[in-house]
């Protein structure tokens, strides 16, 4: 049995004896075998994390940050290797895989710096000779459940803030990218984390993930994935009143106004809709276009999309890699059928790539999509985008907001008034002006409104709110009993 769970500083096999395999989506080849962990494995990992919390919470935050600085250095030193592995295990193209690792470097550096901030507040007391302050405190064991689409970046979004704040972690990474999760944790350990501060349990959501969410000693769950699973996580965690941070789906729209720079808009659409093969929660799966430029935009967009080169991510000159697995190809193809049945016009794509061993699907553009159609409402998580024609700015904003999700949004316009209205009125956690829907930077809050989450944010200092609890402290140095709300108020 492969010893690939990290528990209390020791690499261990799974207790159930079952294994699962990681594949190369571009070829279908087998990459490696991992333990399919059980609730018993999760139990051991949580116990190790709980045990390690006692000391880790007392390590000065700047020292915890220093370990993250070292982790960032190690990520940088291993960037070529991790990038190459990511093109194989996850499938994204080289430039984007490098970007994924870079995002983890950036996040680790940002959160390392938090070790010397982690600001609380001091504030006057209403009473004399009394001092008031609030401080952030770690919460305890954090369960991090991460997706395969950003297999190095997203674990860093969760683990770097959790750790610098003084929590310990059990990571259950996606079963499609276990090797990358293993390398991530190996490098963290190498950076100098004490045993048990980070633990890794490989396996599936139904067993390992579920056990982690329900474990009474896990105080915070941070989950990125589908809306459906997010709801299940929230329900399961309710029983133990575990804090839950959810980062769920998107149905992100790009608005193209009649005054837009169309070539720039096409650049933004191609990059946001087909980068990472559309497998980003920030992907532009809707393009809402003013009828004045609708025909011209279609023409320019289709020409660009048909020129995109598909292939394995590790090859030079490839624009679009494979989907993550065969089930994803089925899902994306199913939505092509749904779009056609709904009466949308298939402009290009809409089929598997034959003659390849891997999970390739042609970049797909639908036109004449109505805002209420399923392909304009549901998250497809693949290389499919829907063009929705509208008359004017107000109709565009209404269409953009007419979905359950609210992660990212974008507007192409040269009109500053429209740009500011869009910043105010688009119901999303992120709005880009004259850029596509992807490309969030680590020092700003990341997350969405409506069904995209449950009100929390990752990244930036906002992430600290997920991984700390406030403590308010009152120090009375008057030497006598002073009663707030009473002694300082006349009658």
Judged by the rule CB under 6 A, the positions of this chain that interact with ligand UN1 are 103, 149-150, 280-282, 438-440
Q: Which of 490, 441, 469 is nearest to 99 (CA)?
A: 441
Asked if 235 and 221 count as a contact pair (C-beta separation under 8 A), the reply is no
The secondary element (H helix, E strand) that includes residue 224 is strand 218-224
- Tell me how far apart the alpha carbons of residues 200 and 186 are, in angstroms, rounded to a whole number: 10
Q: Which of 25, 114, 106 is nearest to 66 (CA)?
A: 114
State yes or no: is 247 an active-site residue: yes
- Which residue lies nearer to ligand UN1 by CB, 9 or 439? 439
- Which residue lies nearer to ligand UN1 by CB, 14 or 429? 429
- Minimum separation from the CB atom of position 275 to ligand UN1 (A): 8
- Minimum separation from the CB atom of position 247 to ligand UN1 (A): 7
DSSP state of 357: S
C-alpha triplet 128, 133, 134: angle, nearest 5°: 150
- Tell me how far apart the alpha carbons of residues 410 and 319 are, in angstroms, rounded to a whole number: 22
Q: Which of 394, 424, 396, 428 is nearest to 409 (CA)?
A: 428
- Which residue lies nearer to ligand UN1 by CB, 110 or 150? 150
- Which residue lies nearer to ligand UN1 by CB, 41 or 106? 106
- Which residue lies nearer to ligand UN1 by CB, 277 or 348? 277
What is the per-residue burial (b if ≥16 Cβ within 10 Å, else e) of 91-129?
Answer: bbbbebbbbbbbbbbbbbbbbbbbbeebeeeeeebebee
Asked if 411 and 431 count as a contact pair (C-beta separation under 8 A), the reply is yes
- Which residue lies nearer to ligand UN1 by CB, 151 or 389? 151
DSSP state of 356: -
Asked if 366 and 387 count as a contact pair (C-beta separation under 8 A), the reply is yes
- Minimum separation from the CB atom of position 240 to ligand UN1 (A): 27
**SS3 label, residue 452:** coil
- Minimum separation from the CB atom of position 256 to ligand UN1 (A): 19
- Which residue lies nearer to ligand UN1 by CB, 5 or 282? 282
The two three-digit tokens of residue 263, written as one number: 């070539």
The two three-digit tokens of residue 119, written as one number: 């600001």
Tokens 């159930």, residue located: 16
How many Cβ atoms are within 10 Å of 173's Cβ, its own excluded?
28
Q: Which of 1, 83, 85, 78 is nearest to 36 (CA)?
A: 1
Alpha-carbon distances of 194 from 32, 56, 142, 444, 477, rounded to whole Å = 27, 8, 16, 29, 39
- Minimum separation from the CB atom of position 3 to ligand UN1 (A): 30
Pick the catalytic residue from 96, 103, 175, 281. Answer: 281
Pick the catalytic residue from 103, 175, 182, 247. Answer: 247
- Minimum separation from the CB atom of position 184 to ligand UN1 (A): 16
- Which residue lies nearer to ligand UN1 by CB, 298 or 438? 438
DSSP state of 194: P
- Minimum separation from the CB atom of position 272 to ligand UN1 (A): 8
Tokens 């090859």, residue located: 315
- Tell me how far apart the alpha carbons of residues 92 and 88 are, in angstroms, rounded to a whole number: 8
- Minimum separation from the CB atom of position 283 to ligand UN1 (A): 7
* Residue positions annotated with a catalytic role: 247, 281
């Amino acid at each position: 049995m492969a010893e690939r769970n990290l528990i209390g500083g020791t690499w261990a096999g799974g207790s159930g004896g079952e294994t699962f395999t990681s594949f190369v989506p571009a070829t279908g080849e087998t990459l490696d075998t991992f333990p399919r962990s059980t609730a018993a494995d999760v139990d051991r990992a949580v116990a190790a994390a709980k045990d390690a919390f006692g000391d880790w919470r007392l390590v000065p935050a700047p020292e915890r940050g220093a370990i993250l600085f070292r982790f960032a250095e190690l990520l940088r030193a291993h960037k070529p290797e991790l990038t190459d592995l990511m093109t194989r295990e996850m499938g994204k193209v080289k430039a984007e895989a490098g970007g994924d690792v870079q995002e983890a470097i950036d996040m680790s550096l940002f959160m390392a710096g938090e070790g010397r901030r982690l600001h609380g507040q001091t504030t006057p007391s209403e009473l004399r000779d009394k001092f008031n302050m609030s401080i952030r405190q770690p919460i305890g064991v954090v369960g991090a459940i991460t997706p395969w689409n950003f297999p190095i970046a997203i674990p860093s979004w969760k683990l770097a803030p959790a750790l610098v704040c003084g929590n310990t972690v059990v990571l259950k990474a996606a079963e499609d990218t276990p090797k990358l999760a293993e390398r991530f944790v190996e490098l963290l350990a190498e950076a100098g984390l004490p045993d048990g501060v980070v633990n890794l349990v490989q396996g599936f959501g139904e067993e390992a993930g579920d056990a982690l969410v329900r474990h009474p000693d896990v105080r915070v769950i941070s989950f990125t994935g589908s809306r459906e699973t997010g709801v299940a996580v929230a329900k399961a965690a309710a029983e133990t009143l575990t804090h839950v941070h959810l980062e769920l789906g998107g149905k992100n729209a790009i608005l193209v106004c009649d005054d837009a720079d169309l070539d720039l808009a096409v650049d933004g659409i191609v990059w946001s809709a087909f980068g990472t093969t559309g497998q980003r929660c920030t992907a532009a799966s809707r393009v809402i276009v003013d009828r004045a430029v609708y025909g011209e935009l279609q023409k320019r967009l289709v020409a660009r999309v048909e020129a995109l080169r598909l292939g394995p991510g590790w090859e030079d000159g490839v624009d679009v890699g494979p989907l993550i697995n065969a089930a994803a190809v089925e899902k994306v193809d199913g939505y092509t059928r749904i779009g056609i049945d709904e009466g949308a016009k298939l402009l290009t794509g809409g089929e598997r790539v034959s003659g390849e061993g891997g999970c390739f699907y042609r970049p797909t553009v639908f036109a004449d999509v109505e805002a209420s159609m399923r392909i304009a409402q549901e998250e497809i998580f693949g290389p499919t985008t829907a063009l929705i024609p509208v008359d004017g700015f107000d109709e565009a904003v209404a269409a953009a907001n007419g979905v359950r999700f609210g992660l990212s949004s974008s507007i192409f316009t040269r009109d500053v008034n429209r740009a500011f209205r869009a910043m105010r009125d688009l119901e999303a956690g992120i709005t880009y002006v004259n850029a596509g829907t992807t490309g969030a930077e680590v020092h700003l809050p990341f997350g969405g409104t409506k069904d995209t989450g449950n009100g929390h944010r990752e990244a930036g200092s906002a992430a600290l709110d997920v991984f700390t609890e406030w403590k308010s402290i009152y120090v009375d140095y008057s030497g006598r009993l002073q009663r707030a709300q009473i002694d300082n108020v006349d009658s």
